[in-house]
Chains A and B, each alone.
Chain A
Amino acid sequence: MCRRVNFFPLLAALLVGLMGACGHAPEKPVNLRLSQAIELEQKGQQAYRQGHAAAAAGHFEAALRVDMSIENHDGIVADRLNLAQALDASGDVGGARRQLDALLSDSPLSLSPEQIARAKAALGLMALKQGELADAQRLIDEAQQACAKTCPSAAAILNINARIALERNNPSAALASAGAALPLLAEGSHLGERANSLRIIGLARLALGEAVAALAPLLQALALDRELGLPERIADDLLQLGRTHAATGNTGNAEYFYRRALTVAEASGNAALAQRVREANKP
């Protein structure tokens, strides 16, 4: 005897599923100013990723004004952090520092430890770029105190710490710090920060006189930077590979990487970087 299949419940379930899929939750009341701030912030991030730091700073500044006008505290924090990063990238270090100082001194915002760590690390990075190593170390130590190992900026803070150690001629400490950053960066994500770790590891190995061991991390950093399409860092990686090959005595390979670095630097229109490559290639 054949058992009859009852399709009714199946069809009913299908219809209910379709209706559920087509419908959606009732809309929240529309906050047009908030939408405008979010749109400006997204435009800023897009411009920053495309390498237009000055344009990005303009968008973040506009977003900040809108967020301040509606007292959107989360937005204000994000806008000031983003604005500082864009201003720093466009060469306005003073403006970037003012944004971060304003953020850290703005008590009503009551920043989370992660946000404090992020702001202090950004200030430390700027101090490092300016050659103010003592200030940079102090700020990075404060950032590390505020940031637990799971904090989103933990790996970047370790990398900045490694970079400070490298500048202080302490490659062993740099190797340890950048090596500690790598496991915090999930495979397949944070590609830029992974490349930063690998580049520092390569530079630390080179400084320790282990030029052959420096090649692998530098080549990995180059592959990641090429994947991200960052001309300045690609040229930087190629330059370091040229120096590393020169240190191993392989002048042919060294010239090959210097040539590639020069081509990338010139094509990206970065005259300062191109000059650095030419100086490195001088006999």
Chain B
Amino acid sequence: MKLFSEQDIEARALRLRVRLFLLTAALIGVVTLAAVAVRHGVFTQTIALSFFAESAHEISKGMAVKVVGFKIGKVEEISIEPDNRIKVEIAVNHNYARLIPRDSVAHVMKEGLIGASIVEILPGEDKKRIVVDNDVLRFERGSGLADLAKKLTDQVIPILHDVKKITASINDPQGDIRQAVHHIGEATVAMRASSEELQKLLHQSNVKVGALGGQVSAILDKTDQNMALVQKSLTTLNGTLPGMLQKIDGALPGMLQKIDGTLENARRISQDSAEQLPGLLRDGKAVAGDTRDIVAGAKKAWPISSLLDPAPTGAMPLDSYVPSR
């Protein structure tokens, strides 16, 4: 009897442990299912918005919809309209609809330079008129890496070409700038000669009109002093200019080489971007394709499949409508 009693106690303890294990497993299963459902937004109430784009480029089903960098929904459907515009339908979490006035603008842009594409909604000004179900937003396409690279190239290359032309013109002995500097030198020499002539004339005048009095003589003395100062300045300028021209002559080849190098670098950057961008775009498309497959798979799986309306297939029902005369 004692032996049976001990075995009975052991068996009861074993049953208790088995039940505990099964209960824990069941709880984990239920919690996991609930978490998956919550994660996929099964219980999230959404509102449907849409916008029209000129191209479906970089837009794909399931793409995140964000406001100020915060995810509030996703792209539900993309369809082509008879006028070749692309209709993009998005589902936005009902709780965040109040952040989106009706005059908001939807943008397609990248997260970072080469990140995933997202739909970013820039909230409008009219905070009193908030979007409601089935509203249509305005759409503008944001700049991608390729656009930025092209814009940068388009803007920088003409500037560099202009700089190159200017420096080449400076270096050209027949160029406008070199000719202008040369003319300044010639003018300086001419002014010096004129100054000497004027001094001689003044000296002669001084002799001839010495009788005119001390006042005139003083004025002429002053003028003489001023002219001497002018002459001194011109002499200084004359001494400095050749040195400056020599320096410019010496520096110009180096500057031209540097500009050539810069232009070459710009060309290489453009070329590298052009080579890498298609690859990046291909990768992005592949990722989008994978995501689409995953979402399509998820749609077929229980319990999501039970929440979706089955799409109609086969022949449409015959419609006997004839417009009345």
Contact = CB atoms under 8 A, between A and B. Distances in A.
B138 interface: no
Nearest to B18: A8
A38 B313 contact: yes
Grouping DSSP codes into helix (H, G, I), strand (E, B) and loop, the B interface class, with mixed when no group exceeds half, is loop
Contact of A82 (B18, B302, B316): B316
Given A11-B22, A43-B79, A52-B82, A153 B324 contact: no
Given A11-B19, A78-B314, A55 B80 contact: yes
A77 B79 contact: no
Given A43-B79, A78-B315, A153-B317, A11 B23 contact: yes
Contact of A14 (B26, B80, B311, B323): B26
A185 B164 CA distance: 82
A125 B22 contact: no
Interface string A37-51: 010011101111000
Given A8-B22, A15-B22, A77 B320 contact: no
A192 interface: yes
Contacts of A78: 313-315
A24 B305 CA distance: 12
B320 A193 contact: yes
- Range class of the B interface residue count: 20 to 34
A29 to B, nearest CB: 15
Q: Is the interface of A mostly helix, strand, loop or mixed?
A: helix
Contacts, number: 100
Contacts of B311: 42, 45
Interface stretch (A155-163, A209-217, A252-260): A155-163
B316 A54 contact: no
Contact of B318 (A14, A38, A118, A199): A118
B320 A7 contact: no
A18 B319 contact: no
Contacts of A273: 323
A68 B196 CA distance: 105
Contact of A196 (B15, B302, B321): B321
A22 B322 CA distance: 49
Contact of B324 (A82, A157, A203): A203
Interface string A182-210: 00000000101100100100010000000
Contacts of A245: none
A55 B318 contact: no
B29 interface: yes
Given A41-B313, A77-B315, A159 B320 contact: yes
B312 interface: yes
Interface in A106-121: 115, 118, 121
Contact of A22 (B15, B302, B314, B315): B302
A62 to B, nearest CB: 12
Contact of A156 (B23, B318, B324): B318
A193 B319 contact: yes
Contact of A18 (B18, B26, B316): B26
B314 to A, nearest CB: 5
Interface in A217-245: 232-233, 236, 239-240
B25 interface: yes
Nearest to A37: B313
B162 interface: no
Contacts of A82: 315-316
B317 A152 contact: yes
B272 interface: no
Contacts of B315: 77-78, 81-82, 115, 118
B316 A85 contact: yes
B81 interface: yes
A8 to B, nearest CB: 6
A115 to B, nearest CB: 8
B322 A12 contact: no
A14 B81 CA distance: 49
B301 interface: yes
A122 interface: yes
Interface of B: 15, 18-19, 22-23, 25-26, 29-30, 33, 79-82, 301-303, 311-324
Interface of A: 7-8, 11-12, 14-15, 18, 21-22, 24, 38, 41-43, 45-48, 52, 54-55, 74, 77-78, 81-82, 85, 115, 118, 121-122, 125, 128-129, 152-153, 156-157, 159-160, 163, 190, 192-193, 196, 199, 203, 232-233, 236, 239-240, 273
18 contacts: A15-B29, A38-B313, A41-B313, A42-B311, A42-B312, A45-B311, A82-B316, A85-B318, A118-B315, A122-B318, A156-B317, A157-B318, A157-B320, A160-B320, A163-B320, A192-B321, A193-B317, A196-B320
Given A192-B317, A193-B317, 17 more contacts: A15-B22, A18-B29, A22-B302, A42-B312, A47-B79, A48-B316, A55-B82, A78-B314, A78-B315, A115-B315, A118-B315, A121-B318, A152-B318, A159-B320, A196-B321, A236-B323, A273-B323
